[in-house]
Structure 1
Protein backbone atom coordinates (compact mmCIF):
# COMPACT_ATOMS: atom_id res chain seq x y z
CA UNK A 1 0.00 0.00 0.00
CA UNK A 2 1.19 3.49 -0.81
CA UNK A 3 2.26 5.91 1.87
CA UNK A 4 1.01 9.42 1.11
CA UNK A 5 3.01 12.53 2.02
CA UNK A 6 1.68 16.04 1.45
CA UNK A 7 4.20 18.88 1.14
CA UNK A 8 2.35 21.78 2.73
CA UNK A 9 2.81 25.35 3.86
CA UNK A 10 0.13 27.98 3.39
CA UNK A 11 2.81 30.55 2.55
CA UNK A 12 4.04 30.99 -1.00
CA UNK A 13 7.67 31.02 -2.07
CA UNK A 14 8.89 28.41 0.42
CA UNK A 15 10.15 25.92 -2.17
CA UNK A 16 7.33 23.38 -1.80
CA UNK A 17 7.43 22.38 -5.45
CA UNK A 18 11.21 22.24 -5.64
CA UNK A 19 11.25 20.10 -2.52
CA UNK A 20 8.53 17.75 -3.81
CA UNK A 21 10.26 17.21 -7.14
CA UNK A 22 13.73 16.60 -5.71
CA UNK A 23 12.49 14.47 -2.85
CA UNK A 24 10.55 12.33 -5.30
CA UNK A 25 13.64 11.86 -7.45
CA UNK A 26 15.88 10.95 -4.51
CA UNK A 27 13.32 8.45 -3.24
CA UNK A 28 13.21 6.87 -6.70
CA UNK A 29 17.00 6.55 -6.54
CA UNK A 30 16.51 4.56 -3.33
CA UNK A 31 14.46 2.05 -5.28
CA UNK A 32 11.01 3.39 -4.45
CA UNK A 33 8.10 3.52 -6.86
CA UNK A 34 7.14 7.19 -6.63
CA UNK A 35 4.06 9.08 -7.79
CA UNK A 36 4.12 12.86 -7.68
CA UNK A 37 0.75 14.60 -7.51
CA UNK A 38 0.63 18.19 -8.72
CA UNK A 39 -2.21 19.57 -6.61
CA UNK A 40 -1.55 23.24 -7.25
CA UNK A 41 -3.59 25.07 -9.93
CA UNK A 42 -0.42 26.89 -10.96
CA UNK A 43 0.86 23.56 -12.26
CA UNK A 44 4.46 24.39 -11.45
CA UNK A 45 5.46 20.83 -10.59
CA UNK A 46 4.06 19.70 -13.94
CA UNK A 47 6.18 22.31 -15.70
CA UNK A 48 9.30 21.47 -13.66
CA UNK A 49 8.89 17.86 -14.80
CA UNK A 50 9.01 18.97 -18.43
CA UNK A 51 5.29 18.64 -19.17
CA UNK A 52 3.39 21.43 -20.92
CA UNK A 53 0.39 21.74 -18.63
CA UNK A 54 -1.65 24.03 -20.86
CA UNK A 55 -1.70 21.45 -23.66
CA UNK A 56 -2.78 18.41 -21.65
CA UNK A 57 -5.98 16.63 -22.71
CA UNK A 58 -6.68 15.63 -19.10
CA UNK A 59 -5.27 16.42 -15.65
CA UNK A 60 -6.00 15.59 -12.03
CA UNK A 61 -8.93 17.99 -12.31
CA UNK A 62 -10.65 15.49 -14.62
CA UNK A 63 -9.97 12.72 -12.11
CA UNK A 64 -11.56 14.72 -9.30
CA UNK A 65 -14.55 16.15 -11.12
CA UNK A 66 -15.27 13.75 -13.98
CA UNK A 67 -14.04 10.51 -12.37
CA UNK A 68 -11.41 10.03 -15.06
CA UNK A 69 -9.16 7.11 -14.05
CA UNK A 70 -5.80 8.36 -12.85
CA UNK A 71 -4.07 5.78 -15.02
CA UNK A 72 -5.33 7.70 -18.07
CA UNK A 73 -3.68 10.91 -16.88
CA UNK A 74 -0.29 9.84 -15.48
CA UNK A 75 2.91 10.98 -17.22
CA UNK A 76 6.49 9.91 -16.53
CA UNK A 77 9.85 11.65 -16.35
CA UNK A 78 13.20 10.90 -14.68
CA UNK A 79 11.94 7.54 -13.39
CA UNK A 80 9.01 9.17 -11.58
CA UNK A 81 5.32 9.21 -12.46
CA UNK A 82 3.26 12.36 -12.07
CA UNK A 83 -0.41 13.25 -12.00
CA UNK A 84 -0.25 16.66 -13.69
CA UNK A 85 -2.26 19.82 -13.10
CA UNK A 86 -2.96 23.11 -14.80
CA UNK A 87 -5.19 26.13 -14.21
CA UNK A 88 -8.32 24.00 -14.60
CA UNK A 89 -7.70 22.72 -11.08
CA UNK A 90 -8.55 26.18 -9.80
CA UNK A 91 -12.17 25.57 -10.75
CA UNK A 92 -12.26 22.65 -8.35
CA UNK A 93 -12.13 25.03 -5.38
CA UNK A 94 -15.66 26.18 -6.15
CA UNK A 95 -16.98 22.94 -7.62
CA UNK A 96 -15.94 20.88 -4.61
CA UNK A 97 -16.88 23.37 -1.91
CA UNK A 98 -20.39 21.98 -1.47
CA UNK A 99 -19.81 18.59 -3.09
CA UNK A 100 -21.09 15.60 -1.10
CA UNK A 101 -18.32 13.46 0.41
CA UNK A 102 -15.72 15.90 -0.85
CA UNK A 103 -13.24 14.64 1.75
CA UNK A 104 -13.09 11.35 -0.17
CA UNK A 105 -12.52 12.82 -3.62
CA UNK A 106 -8.74 12.66 -3.72
CA UNK A 107 -8.66 9.38 -1.84
CA UNK A 108 -10.88 7.85 -4.52
CA UNK A 109 -8.50 9.08 -7.21
CA UNK A 110 -5.44 7.59 -5.53
CA UNK A 111 -6.84 4.42 -3.97
CA UNK A 112 -6.77 2.36 -7.23
CA UNK A 113 -3.05 3.18 -7.46
CA UNK A 114 -2.18 1.99 -3.98
CA UNK A 115 -0.50 -1.23 -5.12
CA UNK A 116 1.41 0.43 -7.95
CA UNK A 117 3.43 2.88 -5.84
CA UNK A 118 5.38 2.79 -2.62
CA UNK A 119 5.20 6.53 -2.02
CA UNK A 120 2.89 9.30 -3.17
CA UNK A 121 4.04 12.90 -2.74
CA UNK A 122 1.41 15.64 -3.08
CA UNK A 123 2.54 19.17 -3.88
CA UNK A 124 -0.05 21.41 -2.20
CA UNK A 125 -0.97 24.97 -3.21
CA UNK A 126 0.09 27.90 -1.01
CA UNK A 127 -3.35 28.36 0.53
CA UNK A 128 -5.74 27.08 3.18
CA UNK A 129 -8.52 26.36 0.67
CA UNK A 130 -10.40 23.24 -0.34
CA UNK A 131 -7.55 21.85 -2.43
CA UNK A 132 -5.06 21.92 0.45
CA UNK A 133 -7.73 20.55 2.75
CA UNK A 134 -8.27 17.53 0.50
CA UNK A 135 -4.53 16.89 0.31
CA UNK A 136 -4.17 16.90 4.10
CA UNK A 137 -7.28 14.79 4.66
CA UNK A 138 -5.91 12.19 2.24
CA UNK A 139 -2.31 12.14 3.47
CA UNK A 140 -0.71 9.87 6.03
CA UNK A 141 2.01 12.42 6.71
CA UNK A 142 2.77 16.07 6.05
CA UNK A 143 6.19 17.50 5.22
CA UNK A 144 6.52 21.17 6.14
CA UNK A 145 9.11 23.32 4.36
CA UNK A 146 10.05 26.38 6.43
CA UNK A 147 11.81 29.42 5.05
CA UNK A 148 14.30 30.87 7.51
CA UNK A 149 13.01 34.42 7.30
CA UNK A 150 11.42 35.87 10.44
CA UNK A 151 8.25 37.04 8.68
CA UNK A 152 7.76 33.63 7.08
CA UNK A 153 8.46 31.79 10.32
CA UNK A 154 5.79 33.85 12.09
CA UNK A 155 3.17 31.99 10.04
CA UNK A 156 4.11 28.65 11.60
CA UNK A 157 1.51 28.97 14.37
CA UNK A 158 -1.30 29.25 11.80
CA UNK A 159 0.12 26.31 9.88
CA UNK A 160 0.17 24.14 13.01
CA UNK A 161 -3.35 25.22 13.92
CA UNK A 162 -4.54 24.16 10.47
CA UNK A 163 -2.88 20.76 10.72
CA UNK A 164 -4.20 20.33 14.26
CA UNK A 165 -7.75 21.12 13.20
CA UNK A 166 -7.60 18.52 10.43
CA UNK A 167 -6.19 15.98 12.89
CA UNK A 168 -9.09 16.65 15.26
CA UNK A 169 -11.90 16.74 12.72
CA UNK A 170 -11.08 14.84 9.55
CA UNK A 171 -7.82 12.87 9.65
CA UNK A 172 -6.76 11.82 13.17
CA UNK A 173 -3.99 9.63 11.71
CA UNK A 174 -2.20 12.56 10.05
CA UNK A 175 1.34 13.04 11.37
CA UNK A 176 4.00 15.66 10.69
CA UNK A 177 6.89 13.74 9.17
CA UNK A 178 9.42 16.58 9.22
CA UNK A 179 10.02 20.28 9.29
CA UNK A 180 12.45 21.12 6.50
CA UNK A 181 14.40 24.40 6.68
CA UNK A 182 14.79 25.59 3.08
CA UNK A 183 16.60 28.37 1.23
CA UNK A 184 19.03 28.60 4.12
CA UNK A 185 22.07 30.89 4.06
CA UNK A 186 24.15 30.44 7.20
CA UNK A 187 25.96 33.67 6.38
CA UNK A 188 22.78 35.53 7.34
CA UNK A 189 22.41 36.06 11.08
CA UNK A 190 18.60 36.07 10.77
CA UNK A 191 18.70 32.60 9.25
CA UNK A 192 20.88 31.38 12.11
CA UNK A 193 18.42 32.79 14.65
CA UNK A 194 15.40 31.26 12.91
CA UNK A 195 17.15 27.87 12.66
CA UNK A 196 17.77 28.03 16.40
CA UNK A 197 14.09 28.91 16.97
CA UNK A 198 12.97 26.01 14.77
CA UNK A 199 15.15 23.62 16.75
CA UNK A 200 14.02 24.86 20.16
CA UNK A 201 10.31 25.35 19.40
CA UNK A 202 9.41 22.67 16.84
CA UNK A 203 11.73 19.72 17.47
CA UNK A 204 9.37 18.38 20.14
CA UNK A 205 6.60 18.22 17.53
CA UNK A 206 8.43 16.53 14.65
CA UNK A 207 11.98 15.88 13.43
CA UNK A 208 13.93 18.77 11.96
CA UNK A 209 15.54 17.81 8.65
CA UNK A 210 18.98 18.93 7.58
CA UNK A 211 18.81 22.53 6.29
CA UNK A 212 18.67 22.80 2.51
CA UNK A 213 20.84 25.68 1.34
CA UNK A 214 19.70 28.55 -0.80
CA UNK A 215 21.16 28.00 -4.27
CA UNK A 216 20.59 29.41 -7.73
CA UNK A 217 21.26 25.88 -9.02
CA UNK A 218 17.71 24.92 -8.03
CA UNK A 219 16.28 27.53 -10.41
CA UNK A 220 18.74 26.55 -13.12
CA UNK A 221 17.87 22.87 -12.77
CA UNK A 222 14.13 23.62 -12.81
CA UNK A 223 14.58 25.70 -15.95
CA UNK A 224 16.04 22.61 -17.60
CA UNK A 225 13.26 20.44 -16.10
CA UNK A 226 15.78 18.41 -14.10
CA UNK A 227 16.11 17.35 -10.47
CA UNK A 228 19.19 18.89 -8.88
CA UNK A 229 21.03 15.54 -8.75
CA UNK A 230 20.77 15.21 -12.53
CA UNK A 231 21.77 18.82 -13.09
CA UNK A 232 24.76 18.81 -10.72
CA UNK A 233 25.25 15.64 -8.68
CA UNK A 234 28.11 17.24 -6.69
CA UNK A 235 26.11 20.26 -5.55
CA UNK A 236 26.16 20.86 -1.79
CA UNK A 237 22.33 20.74 -1.62
CA UNK A 238 22.19 17.16 -2.90
CA UNK A 239 23.33 15.58 0.37
CA UNK A 240 20.60 17.11 2.58
CA UNK A 241 18.01 16.12 -0.03
CA UNK A 242 19.28 12.54 0.02
CA UNK A 243 19.26 12.57 3.82
CA UNK A 244 15.66 13.76 3.78
CA UNK A 245 14.72 10.99 1.34
CA UNK A 246 16.26 8.40 3.68
CA UNK A 247 14.40 9.94 6.59
CA UNK A 248 11.07 9.82 4.74
CA UNK A 249 11.70 6.25 3.59
CA UNK A 250 12.40 5.22 7.19
CA UNK A 251 9.10 6.75 8.30
CA UNK A 252 7.21 5.01 5.50
CA UNK A 253 8.86 1.69 6.32
CA UNK A 254 8.46 1.76 10.10
CA UNK A 255 5.41 4.00 10.49
CA UNK A 256 7.30 5.80 13.24
CA UNK A 257 8.07 9.51 13.41
CA UNK A 258 10.93 9.89 15.85
CA UNK A 259 11.07 13.23 17.65
CA UNK A 260 14.77 13.90 17.94
CA UNK A 261 14.77 16.37 20.84
CA UNK A 262 11.84 15.46 23.10
Structure 2
Protein backbone atom coordinates (compact mmCIF):
# COMPACT_ATOMS: atom_id res chain seq x y z
CA UNK A 1 0.00 0.00 0.00
CA UNK A 2 1.32 3.42 -0.89
CA UNK A 3 0.51 7.00 -1.82
CA UNK A 4 0.96 7.39 -5.59
CA UNK A 5 1.14 10.23 -8.06
CA UNK A 6 -0.25 9.25 -11.47
CA UNK A 7 0.68 11.16 -14.64
CA UNK A 8 0.09 10.58 -18.35
CA UNK A 9 0.58 12.12 -21.78
CA UNK A 10 3.40 14.57 -21.06
CA UNK A 11 4.43 14.60 -24.74
CA UNK A 12 7.86 16.19 -24.39
CA UNK A 13 6.51 19.05 -22.27
CA UNK A 14 9.29 19.68 -19.76
CA UNK A 15 7.56 22.65 -18.12
CA UNK A 16 4.46 20.59 -17.30
CA UNK A 17 6.52 17.62 -16.09
CA UNK A 18 8.67 19.76 -13.80
CA UNK A 19 5.58 21.47 -12.35
CA UNK A 20 3.92 18.10 -11.74
CA UNK A 21 6.93 16.52 -10.05
CA UNK A 22 7.45 19.57 -7.82
CA UNK A 23 3.78 19.35 -6.78
CA UNK A 24 4.03 15.62 -6.09
CA UNK A 25 7.17 16.17 -4.02
CA UNK A 26 5.32 18.72 -1.91
CA UNK A 27 2.47 16.26 -1.43
CA UNK A 28 4.90 13.61 -0.21
CA UNK A 29 3.93 10.86 -2.63
CA UNK A 30 5.91 7.66 -2.27
CA UNK A 31 5.90 6.63 -5.91
CA UNK A 32 5.10 8.21 -9.28
CA UNK A 33 3.46 6.18 -12.06
CA UNK A 34 3.58 7.34 -15.69
CA UNK A 35 1.04 6.00 -18.20
CA UNK A 36 3.05 6.72 -21.34
CA UNK A 37 3.27 9.16 -24.23
CA UNK A 38 6.46 10.60 -22.83
CA UNK A 39 7.26 12.20 -26.20
CA UNK A 40 5.45 13.85 -29.13
CA UNK A 41 3.98 17.33 -29.72
CA UNK A 42 6.64 19.27 -27.75
CA UNK A 43 10.31 20.15 -27.95
CA UNK A 44 11.91 18.43 -24.94
CA UNK A 45 11.69 14.66 -25.54
CA UNK A 46 15.23 13.93 -24.35
CA UNK A 47 14.94 16.10 -21.24
CA UNK A 48 11.65 14.44 -20.27
CA UNK A 49 13.11 10.96 -20.72
CA UNK A 50 16.17 11.95 -18.70
CA UNK A 51 14.08 13.32 -15.83
CA UNK A 52 11.89 10.21 -15.66
CA UNK A 53 14.99 8.01 -15.67
CA UNK A 54 16.76 10.06 -13.00
CA UNK A 55 13.71 9.91 -10.75
CA UNK A 56 13.20 6.17 -11.28
CA UNK A 57 9.58 6.72 -12.29
CA UNK A 58 7.66 3.59 -13.29
CA UNK A 59 6.72 4.23 -16.92
CA UNK A 60 4.88 2.27 -19.61
CA UNK A 61 4.85 2.90 -23.36
CA UNK A 62 2.26 5.05 -25.09
CA UNK A 63 1.50 5.02 -28.79
CA UNK A 64 3.64 8.13 -29.38
CA UNK A 65 6.58 6.43 -27.69
CA UNK A 66 6.18 3.36 -29.91
CA UNK A 67 5.87 5.51 -33.03
CA UNK A 68 8.87 7.67 -32.09
CA UNK A 69 11.18 4.63 -32.03
CA UNK A 70 9.71 3.08 -35.19
CA UNK A 71 7.85 0.23 -33.48
CA UNK A 72 4.57 1.59 -34.90
CA UNK A 73 3.83 3.58 -38.03
CA UNK A 74 2.10 6.92 -38.50
CA UNK A 75 -1.01 5.55 -40.23
CA UNK A 76 -3.39 6.15 -37.31
CA UNK A 77 -2.05 9.62 -36.43
CA UNK A 78 -3.57 13.01 -37.15
CA UNK A 79 -1.52 15.29 -39.40
CA UNK A 80 -0.48 17.37 -36.37
CA UNK A 81 0.66 14.33 -34.39
CA UNK A 82 2.47 12.84 -37.39
CA UNK A 83 4.34 16.09 -38.03
CA UNK A 84 5.46 16.35 -34.40
CA UNK A 85 6.48 12.69 -34.28
CA UNK A 86 8.64 12.99 -37.39
CA UNK A 87 10.39 15.89 -35.68
CA UNK A 88 10.67 13.88 -32.46
CA UNK A 89 12.29 10.99 -34.30
CA UNK A 90 15.03 13.32 -35.51
CA UNK A 91 15.51 14.84 -32.06
CA UNK A 92 15.81 11.68 -29.96
CA UNK A 93 19.31 10.76 -28.84
CA UNK A 94 20.47 7.14 -28.67
CA UNK A 95 19.97 6.78 -24.90
CA UNK A 96 16.41 8.13 -25.03
CA UNK A 97 15.54 5.95 -28.00
CA UNK A 98 16.83 2.82 -26.26
CA UNK A 99 14.93 3.62 -23.04
CA UNK A 100 11.68 4.27 -24.91
CA UNK A 101 12.09 1.09 -26.93
CA UNK A 102 12.36 -0.98 -23.74
CA UNK A 103 9.24 0.40 -22.04
CA UNK A 104 6.63 -2.28 -21.24
CA UNK A 105 3.10 -2.18 -22.63
CA UNK A 106 1.61 -2.67 -19.16
CA UNK A 107 2.74 -2.78 -15.57
CA UNK A 108 1.07 -4.33 -12.54
CA UNK A 109 1.36 -2.54 -9.20
CA UNK A 110 0.40 -4.17 -5.90
CA UNK A 111 -1.03 -7.01 -8.04
CA UNK A 112 -4.46 -5.35 -8.21
CA UNK A 113 -3.51 -2.12 -10.05
CA UNK A 114 -2.73 -2.20 -13.77
CA UNK A 115 -1.16 0.58 -15.83
CA UNK A 116 -2.06 0.76 -19.53
CA UNK A 117 -1.98 3.59 -22.05
CA UNK A 118 -4.85 2.81 -24.38
CA UNK A 119 -6.78 -0.42 -24.58
CA UNK A 120 -5.22 -3.42 -22.87
CA UNK A 121 -4.84 -5.10 -26.27
CA UNK A 122 -4.17 -2.05 -28.50
CA UNK A 123 -2.11 0.92 -27.36
CA UNK A 124 -3.69 3.10 -30.07
CA UNK A 125 -7.32 2.36 -29.19
CA UNK A 126 -9.11 4.98 -27.10
CA UNK A 127 -11.25 4.08 -24.11
CA UNK A 128 -14.07 6.47 -25.01
CA UNK A 129 -17.27 4.46 -24.92
CA UNK A 130 -18.97 2.09 -22.51
CA UNK A 131 -18.42 -0.70 -25.06
CA UNK A 132 -14.67 0.05 -25.02
CA UNK A 133 -14.68 -0.23 -21.23
CA UNK A 134 -16.72 -3.43 -21.17
CA UNK A 135 -14.32 -4.97 -23.69
CA UNK A 136 -11.37 -4.01 -21.52
CA UNK A 137 -13.01 -5.36 -18.38
CA UNK A 138 -13.28 -8.73 -20.13
CA UNK A 139 -9.64 -8.46 -21.25
CA UNK A 140 -8.56 -7.77 -17.67
CA UNK A 141 -10.47 -10.79 -16.38
CA UNK A 142 -8.78 -12.99 -18.98
CA UNK A 143 -5.25 -11.57 -19.12
CA UNK A 144 -4.78 -9.74 -15.80
CA UNK A 145 -7.04 -11.49 -13.27
CA UNK A 146 -7.31 -9.83 -9.88
CA UNK A 147 -7.12 -6.29 -11.29
CA UNK A 148 -9.53 -3.96 -9.51
CA UNK A 149 -8.12 -0.62 -10.69
CA UNK A 150 -6.95 0.15 -14.23
CA UNK A 151 -5.16 3.44 -14.83
CA UNK A 152 -5.16 4.53 -18.48
CA UNK A 153 -4.26 7.58 -20.58
CA UNK A 154 -4.40 8.44 -24.30
CA UNK A 155 -7.68 10.43 -24.34
CA UNK A 156 -6.21 13.55 -22.67
CA UNK A 157 -9.38 13.72 -20.56
CA UNK A 158 -9.64 13.08 -16.83
CA UNK A 159 -12.24 10.36 -16.30
CA UNK A 160 -13.48 7.80 -13.78
CA UNK A 161 -15.64 4.76 -14.55
CA UNK A 162 -16.91 1.84 -12.49
CA UNK A 163 -17.52 -1.43 -14.32
CA UNK A 164 -19.28 -4.42 -12.75
CA UNK A 165 -21.49 -7.16 -14.16
CA UNK A 166 -21.46 -5.69 -17.66
CA UNK A 167 -22.69 -2.32 -16.40
CA UNK A 168 -20.48 0.77 -16.72
CA UNK A 169 -21.14 3.99 -14.82
CA UNK A 170 -19.21 7.23 -15.32
CA UNK A 171 -18.44 9.01 -12.04
CA UNK A 172 -17.41 12.62 -11.51
CA UNK A 173 -13.66 13.08 -12.08
CA UNK A 174 -13.43 16.01 -9.69
CA UNK A 175 -11.54 16.49 -6.45
CA UNK A 176 -11.36 13.68 -3.91
CA UNK A 177 -13.27 10.46 -4.57
CA UNK A 178 -13.63 7.32 -2.45
CA UNK A 179 -13.31 4.04 -4.37
CA UNK A 180 -15.10 1.41 -2.27
CA UNK A 181 -14.18 -2.18 -3.12
CA UNK A 182 -16.93 -4.37 -4.56
CA UNK A 183 -16.89 -7.97 -5.83
CA UNK A 184 -15.94 -8.22 -9.52
CA UNK A 185 -15.81 -4.43 -9.91
CA UNK A 186 -13.07 -2.59 -11.82
CA UNK A 187 -12.44 1.15 -11.66
CA UNK A 188 -11.04 2.66 -14.87
CA UNK A 189 -9.19 5.90 -14.10
CA UNK A 190 -7.67 8.48 -16.45
CA UNK A 191 -5.70 11.19 -14.58
CA UNK A 192 -5.89 13.55 -17.57
CA UNK A 193 -2.93 14.86 -19.56
CA UNK A 194 0.08 16.76 -18.28
CA UNK A 195 0.48 18.40 -21.68
CA UNK A 196 -2.29 20.81 -22.66
CA UNK A 197 -1.16 21.42 -26.26
CA UNK A 198 -4.06 19.36 -27.63
CA UNK A 199 -6.67 21.39 -25.75
CA UNK A 200 -8.63 23.39 -28.33
CA UNK A 201 -10.22 25.86 -25.92
CA UNK A 202 -10.03 26.73 -22.24
CA UNK A 203 -7.22 27.24 -19.79
CA UNK A 204 -3.98 25.33 -20.14
CA UNK A 205 -3.67 23.10 -17.08
CA UNK A 206 -1.47 20.12 -16.33
CA UNK A 207 -3.77 17.34 -15.09
CA UNK A 208 -2.77 14.46 -12.82
CA UNK A 209 -4.07 12.33 -9.97
CA UNK A 210 -3.14 11.18 -6.48
CA UNK A 211 -4.07 7.72 -5.26
CA UNK A 212 -3.85 6.47 -1.68
CA UNK A 213 -4.15 2.71 -2.11
CA UNK A 214 -4.41 2.04 1.62
CA UNK A 215 -7.49 4.23 2.01
CA UNK A 216 -8.89 3.79 -1.50
CA UNK A 217 -8.93 7.55 -2.06
CA UNK A 218 -8.40 9.10 -5.50
CA UNK A 219 -7.80 12.83 -5.99
CA UNK A 220 -7.92 14.62 -9.35
CA UNK A 221 -5.62 17.66 -9.57
CA UNK A 222 -4.94 20.51 -12.01
CA UNK A 223 -1.79 22.64 -12.02
CA UNK A 224 -0.69 25.77 -13.79
CA UNK A 225 2.53 25.54 -15.77
CA UNK A 226 4.34 27.79 -18.23
CA UNK A 227 2.41 26.76 -21.32
CA UNK A 228 3.61 29.82 -23.26
CA UNK A 229 7.25 28.79 -22.79
CA UNK A 230 6.64 25.21 -23.94
CA UNK A 231 4.66 26.45 -26.94
CA UNK A 232 7.40 28.89 -27.96
CA UNK A 233 9.95 26.07 -27.89
CA UNK A 234 7.67 23.81 -29.92
CA UNK A 235 7.17 26.51 -32.55
CA UNK A 236 10.88 27.35 -32.75
CA UNK A 237 11.81 23.68 -32.85
CA UNK A 238 9.54 22.85 -35.77
CA UNK A 239 7.04 20.70 -33.84
CA UNK A 240 3.99 22.69 -35.01
CA UNK A 241 2.24 22.76 -38.36
CA UNK A 242 1.37 26.13 -39.89
CA UNK A 243 -1.93 27.88 -39.07
CA UNK A 244 -3.64 26.71 -42.28
CA UNK A 245 -2.96 23.07 -41.47
CA UNK A 246 -4.02 23.58 -37.84
CA UNK A 247 -7.28 25.19 -38.92
CA UNK A 248 -7.99 22.36 -41.35
CA UNK A 249 -7.42 19.81 -38.60
CA UNK A 250 -9.73 21.67 -36.19
CA UNK A 251 -12.51 21.87 -38.77
CA UNK A 252 -12.18 18.19 -39.65
CA UNK A 253 -12.58 17.34 -35.96
CA UNK A 254 -15.87 19.24 -35.61
CA UNK A 255 -18.16 16.32 -36.57
CA UNK A 256 -16.30 14.03 -34.15
CA UNK A 257 -16.58 16.59 -31.36
CA UNK A 258 -20.28 17.08 -32.04
CA UNK A 259 -20.92 13.34 -31.98
CA UNK A 260 -18.95 12.91 -28.75
CA UNK A 261 -20.93 15.70 -27.10
CA UNK A 262 -24.23 14.20 -28.24
CA UNK A 263 -23.23 10.79 -26.89
CA UNK A 264 -22.36 12.27 -23.49
CA UNK A 265 -25.70 14.10 -23.33
CA UNK A 266 -27.63 10.95 -24.25
CA UNK A 267 -25.82 8.96 -21.54
CA UNK A 268 -26.69 11.64 -19.00
CA UNK A 269 -30.37 11.54 -20.02
CA UNK A 270 -30.39 7.74 -19.81
CA UNK A 271 -28.83 7.77 -16.32
CA UNK A 272 -31.43 10.29 -15.13
CA UNK A 273 -34.41 8.20 -16.27
Name whichever structure is richer in strand by fraction.
2
**Taking structure 2 as the reference length, what is the TM-score of the superposition?**
0.33
Q: Which has the larger radius of gyration?
A: 2
The TM-score with structure 1 as length reference comes to: 0.34
Larger RCO (CA under 8 A, 6+ residues apart): 1
